[in-house]
Amino acid sequence: MNAFQILGDPVKRKILEMLAKSELSAGEVVNDIQNEFGITQAAVSQHLKILRESGFAHVRGEGAKRIYVLDASPMREVDNWINPFRSMFEQRLHALHTEIKRGKKATRKRPD
């Protein structure tokens, strides 16, 4: 699966968000995903397998646990696709930042 297919799936996307915050055991991922999406342990395991096989996650053994770690390098495909649009967003964000600063200055100058 390519990066866009991975990110298009809400379960895989949620797992990636979780792994972006910290390394997690398979059990922790299964519990959280089951609670949120109501899917079986086997279904969660299949999502984890796809993330491993597509390079988004690595797993290491830690005693009896399997610890999942995010590998964001496949996101380069998404970043490369977004790159031509980036300047459009950056200009707008810069303009928003400027307006927020102006608003803060105006608020400070108001008489009580």
pLDDT in tens, 26-75: 999 999 999 999 999 999 999 999 999 999 999 999 999 999 999 999 99
Residue 107: its pLDDT value, please? 67
pLDDT over 70 (residue 112): no
Q: Residue 4: which of 71, 83, 77 has the closest Cα?
A: 77
* Average of per-residue pLDDT values in the chain: 91
58/68 Cα distance (integer angstroms)? 6
| pLDDT in the model for residue 36 | 95
User: Which amino acid is residue 62, in one-letter code?
Assistant: E
- The domain locations on the chain are 3-71, 84-109
Name the architecture of domain 3-71. Orthogonal Bundle (1.10)
In angstroms, the CA 11 to CA 18 distance is 11
Count CB-CB contacts under 10 A for residue 60.
10
